[in-house]
Amino acid sequence: MRRALRLASLAFALFLSVSGVRAVEPGWHYSPLPGEGDRASLGCDSKATASAFTCLAVRCEDDLTTGLYVHASDPPASPARWTLTIDRENLALRTEPAASPYAARVVGDIAPILERLEQGTFVYLRRDDDDSDAFVFIDLAGSLTSIREALYWCAPKAPVSEQNTLSRVTPQTEMENSNEPTSPGPQ
């Protein structure tokens, strides 16, 4: 009896630890934050834990535009500047606090950054006011698939004028023509 109880408590503890790890893990995957589901892709640094992480989030917004966010365990409370290095190309990002599950939204034209995130190999990211901290490393393996799956819902829809309407063909209700004889066997 005691052994079964120990095994059950061990299994429950293992379940809790595995489910907690899924919240933030290294690499690219769907965003596990509440309400995000398949509308956002999250790419976290290689040393991400539940308590210390830095991630990039690509999200399909409510108005079907694409948003890019920096999601960190210690988010900036005010607008911040970040240094982003994608495949040895340095880019400067400016973020501002956002009313979303992610702390800071990247402002400006994000299209070139998204293309590099999808097609690149690695990212180094650091907040500019944190010169003492090292850059975090985010591997871009799997980023193309993950980002495209999240942005599938942002794809432009065909205007009503271009959508197919219901067919005006009326189905034939008789199974055979009245001028032909019925076949002797099953059809």
Q: What is the pLDDT of residues 15-28, one digit of tens each?
A: 333 333 356 889 99
Two structure tokens written together for 105: 């939204």
Of 12, 72, 10, 64, the closest CA to residue 44 belongs to 72
d(CA 103, CA 82): 13
Does the pTM surpass 0.85? The reply is: no
Which of the four CATH numbers 2.40.50, 1.20.1070, 2.60.40, 3.30.160 does domain 20-157 have? 2.60.40
How do the domains of the chain map onto residue ranges? 20-157
Q: Say if CB 49 and CB 69 are below 8 A apart.
A: no
pLDDT digits over 70-112, tens only? 998 887 667 889 999 999 899 999 999 888 888 899 999 999 9
